[in-house]
Chain A
Amino acid sequence: MTPNIDPIIHIDEELCTGCRRCAAVCPVDAIIGEAGTPQRIDAHRCVVCGQCVQTCAAYAAESDPSLTSRAEKLRQRGQLSSVREPLFAAYSTGHAIELKEALADPKRYKVVQCAPVIRVSLAEEFGLPLGTLTPGKMAAALRLLNFDRVYDTNFGADVTIMEEGSELIGRVMSGERLPMFTSCCPAWVKHAETAAPHVLDHLSSCKSPMQMVGALVKTYSAELDGIAPADILSVAVMPCTCKKFEAGREEMNVDGLREVDMVITTRELAQLIKDKGIDFINLPDEPFDSPLGKYSGAGTIFGATGGVMEAAIRTGYELVTHESIPNLQLDFIRGDEGIRTATVQIGDLELKVAMVAGLKYVSSILEQVAGGTCPYHFIEVMACPEGCVSGGGQPKLLLETQRKSAYQARKSSIYRHDSNQKVRKSHENPAIIKLYKDFLGEPLGHTSHHLLHTKFFSRKVKGELK
């Protein structure tokens, strides 16, 4: 895959009614146009979060003869011809057609990873109640789709905690480049690069869990499986439209190979499963493959706002104090849209943290950082309203009135999944311990730096409308 130059988020002029509801949810004012006329997206500002895609209700009426045919629209959108759902004005470019072709290629070794929140939302596409948890059916479906290895982004979330936690402790001890921001939400990273390059030094240098798994798939696991990295097709299933953009970033490669070759959304995975005629609801549960499919509860909660913070504290606490954390369920961190702050006592250190959910809330913090008055050590930023549970690639709701309950159901499903795990801290995940022992050495070590960390670049130019 060449670096992605497609802007990914589009508005179909033929369908847009100019209601501007998308503009109301866009966190960065990237939607331009007069009310009542078709809108356009300023690709420079747009952070590809897909919230506009989630909101838009203007659909192509089958009975309207003036519209381009459905078959042609599906083709333009990169969607499988078997897709039956209505087509809306705001949409994201699909990659399911490309993936379907690649999956039929016997010469490639096909590896997939799934983000923490796919397993709590995928079943909604098959009519099961909001937030139904189906990790086992998902793994089974992916095997039926012809993947050779079914791995998990949750594993990458555990690696992220090891790296980012160590980075945070280092920065807090030295007092350098504080506050430290999380860097796993690509929409937040793009926004920082575009609108606030002055904070780029404050971002954790960690790649996102998806890119970490991608990098490990083409090195660590390729070695274990005896596969040439160039023969591997690395696919990610994400709740997020911006992950398509992230995977295409030029610097996201290991030794010249793309870490993640292709990204599809939750909705696209459901479409592929239906396309193949798989009876998802009645699939027996299957496990993920080892080692990149073994995860802790901490990896799981990345999908909800505050999750990265909670996971980091579970591990950070123990790394610093060498004592077991008294309570694993950090309720004071859980919540929804907006800014939440907390102070966590870790040994002698009073760690001040903030969680931002919904990119529109980040500006006050960015101003504080610019003015040198930001009181926090560690700040989690998630672009979507409640973190990835509400991502732009997640199942789209027919009724606006169900939005809150859908996010709530998906979130409680994630937390339930965490509390049912035997291992709930990243540094206690046996597969993670083995990864460091056999391959990475130590967090922030030489191999980690080469594979798991990155740099960010200012995208600040005079914002031009295309």
Chain B
Amino acid sequence: MKKERPNSFVIAEAGKCIGCKACELACFAVHNRDNGVAAAVGTVTTPVIPRLYVIRTDSFTMPVQCRHCENAPCAGVCPVQAIQQEEGAITIDEDRCIGCKACAMACPFGAISLYKAYSSGQEHKQPHLRERLDGHLERKTRVIAYKCDLCHDIVSDGNTASGEIAAAGRVTDISKGDMTVGPVPACVSVCPEQALTLVSPSLGASRSRKAAGLRL
């Protein structure tokens, strides 16, 4: 029987992050194979839309992304049930998303952004809604919510199998109290400073309690 465990999430150590945005770029790259994005920058024909954001303050920089909340408020407010719990991750079904922005307002971490949708490298137009552009009516581009999905269907298909993304990042398995290296999301695997960690907590264990114990 599968052991019940909370969702994993990626967390950054602000002290290590140098703000290079390699994570943003990698996130975009692996999520846009359907838009023709291959290995080279030259294959990119859409704006770079990442699912995590490097934020900057006067004293630190670090990426912020979805925490994959156990009782995800974003899912609770989504009127069309586009937000789901899938294989240990909170994901958005982008085909279903109607761009209502409720999730973006509900998320306490600002982990959701709304942007144009693209398919096959082109703006994805709506079938019915039109808007006036340069004097004539044009089909309006769909706008959808984007957020971290822990690369949930990517790590397994393209990356570990083909060795495309080396597991350069770290996976922390707190239940085992050690560091194990395994398949990791794209952002974690490319960070040159190893500032990102995929944290896989286990039910019941408090991170700080366990961490305090390990320090003894």
Once A17-B20, A19-B19 are accepted as A-B contacts, the answer to whether A395 and B25 lie under 8 Å apart by CB is no
Cβ distance A268 to chain B, nearest Cβ, rounded Å: 10
Once A398-B26, A399-B29, A401-B189 are accepted as A-B contacts, the answer to whether A58 and B20 lie under 8 Å apart by CB is yes
B42 lies within 8 A of A396 (CB):
yes
Q: How far is the CA of A256 from the CA of B56 in the complex (A)?
A: 53
Q: How far is the CA of A62 from the CA of B118 in the complex (A)?
A: 14
A401 lies within 8 A of B190 (CB):
yes
B190 lies within 8 A of A36 (CB):
no
Residues of A within 8 A of B56 (CB): 17
- A75-117 residues with Cβ-Cβ distance < 8 A to B are 84-86, 88
Once A125-B40, A396-B41, A398-B44 are accepted as A-B contacts, the answer to whether A405 and B20 lie under 8 Å apart by CB is no
Cβ distance A187 to chain B, nearest Cβ, rounded Å: 22
B37 contact from A35, A57, A398, Cβ within 8 A? A398
Once A21-B20, A62-B47, A401-B166 are accepted as A-B contacts, the answer to whether A86 and B186 lie under 8 Å apart by CB is no
B42 lies within 8 A of A124 (CB):
yes
Interface: B115 (CB within 8 A):
yes
Q: How far is the CA of A271 from the CA of B168 in the complex (A)?
A: 32
B42 lies within 8 A of A400 (CB):
no
Cβ distance B44 to chain A, nearest Cβ, rounded Å: 5
Cβ distance A282 to chain B, nearest Cβ, rounded Å: 15
B48 contact from A86, A124, A397, A406, Cβ within 8 A? A86
Interface of chain A: mostly helix, strand, loop or mixed: loop
B41 lies within 8 A of A397 (CB):
yes
Q: How far is the CA of A402 from the CA of B29 in the complex (A)?
A: 12
Interface: B85 (CB within 8 A):
no
Q: How far is the CA of A350 from the CA of B115 in the complex (A)?
A: 66
Interface: A18 (CB within 8 A):
yes
B48 lies within 8 A of A62 (CB):
yes
A21 contact from B37, B47, B192, Cβ within 8 A? B192
Interface: A226 (CB within 8 A):
no
Q: How far is the CA of A38 from the CA of B155 in the complex (A)?
A: 34
Cβ distance A35 to chain B, nearest Cβ, rounded Å: 7
- B9-59 residues with Cβ-Cβ distance < 8 A to A are 18-22, 24-26, 28-30, 36-48, 54, 56
Q: How far is the CA of A85 from the CA of B39 in the complex (A)?
A: 13
Q: How far is the CA of A325 from the CA of B205 in the complex (A)?
A: 69
Interface: B127 (CB within 8 A):
no
B42 lies within 8 A of A125 (CB):
yes
A398 contact from B19, B41, B168, Cβ within 8 A? B41
Interface: A61 (CB within 8 A):
yes
Find the A residue at minimum CB distance from B29.
A398
Once A59-B25, A395-B39, A401-B189 are accepted as A-B contacts, the answer to whether A20 and B18 lie under 8 Å apart by CB is yes
B41 lies within 8 A of A85 (CB):
yes
B186 lies within 8 A of A396 (CB):
no
Interface: B163 (CB within 8 A):
yes
Find the A residue at minimum CB distance from B166.
A401
A59 lies within 8 A of B42 (CB):
no
Residues of A within 8 A of B115 (CB): 63
Residues of B within 8 A of A20 (CB): 18
Residues of A within 8 A of B46 (CB): 84
A401 lies within 8 A of B44 (CB):
no
Residues of A within 8 A of B168 (CB): 401
Q: How far is the CA of A19 from the CA of B19 in the complex (A)?
A: 6
Residues of B within 8 A of A85 (CB): 41-45
Interface: B165 (CB within 8 A):
yes
Residues of B within 8 A of A57 (CB): 20-22, 24-25
Listed in ascending order, the chain B residues whose CB lies under 8 Å from chain A are 18-22, 24-26, 28-30, 36-48, 54, 56, 61, 115, 163-166, 168, 186, 189-190, 192
Other A-B pairs, 14, CB within 8 Å; known A19-B19, A85-B41, A130-B39? A21-B22, A57-B20, A57-B25, A124-B40, A124-B43, A127-B36, A270-B42, A398-B29, A398-B40, A399-B26, A399-B30, A399-B190, A400-B190, A402-B164
